[in-house]
Amino acid sequence: MEGSSEPLLDAKSKVTSQLLDFQWKLGMAVSSDSCRSLKYPYVAVMLKVADESGQVKKKSFEMTIPQFQIFF
């Protein structure tokens, strides 16, 4: 219509799932073998989802605080 080049939400996954549970954890990365002084907090999320067939799956991912704040 307007000739806008902005794409609309074009769901890459055609199957929509239901969110059954949302668990979160705020962690602190202290040290690692490549960096002794990491000292950064992060948010870890665990989603429990059910697809259309009822199959339940768990998805987990991690974000730094700035990333969490960008998305949410």
Partner 1 sequence: MAGDLESSKALSGLLSGLAQDAFHGHPGITEELLRSQLYPEVPPEEFRPFLAKMRGILKSIASADMDFNQLEAFLTAQTKKQGGITSDQAAVISKFWKSHKTKIRESLMNQSRWDSGLRGLSWRVDGKSQSRHSAQIHTPVAIVELEIGKSGQVSKSPVRMYCSYPTFHIGKLGHGKESEFLCLEFDEVKVNQVLKKLSEVEECISTLMQRA
Asked if 13 touches partner 1 (CB under 8 A), the answer is yes
**Closest Cα partner for 47 from 36, 59, 39?**
59
DSSP at 35:
-
Least CB distance to partner 1 at residue 25 (A) = 9
Asked if 56 touches partner 1 (CB under 8 A), the answer is no
Asked if 3 touches partner 1 (CB under 8 A), the answer is no
Using CB under 8 A, pick the residue from 5, 36, 53, 54 that binds partner 1.
36
Least CB distance to partner 1 at residue 55 (A) = 13
Distance CA(19)–CA(38), nearest Å, equals 33
> Looking up tokens 């979160």, which residue turns up?
24
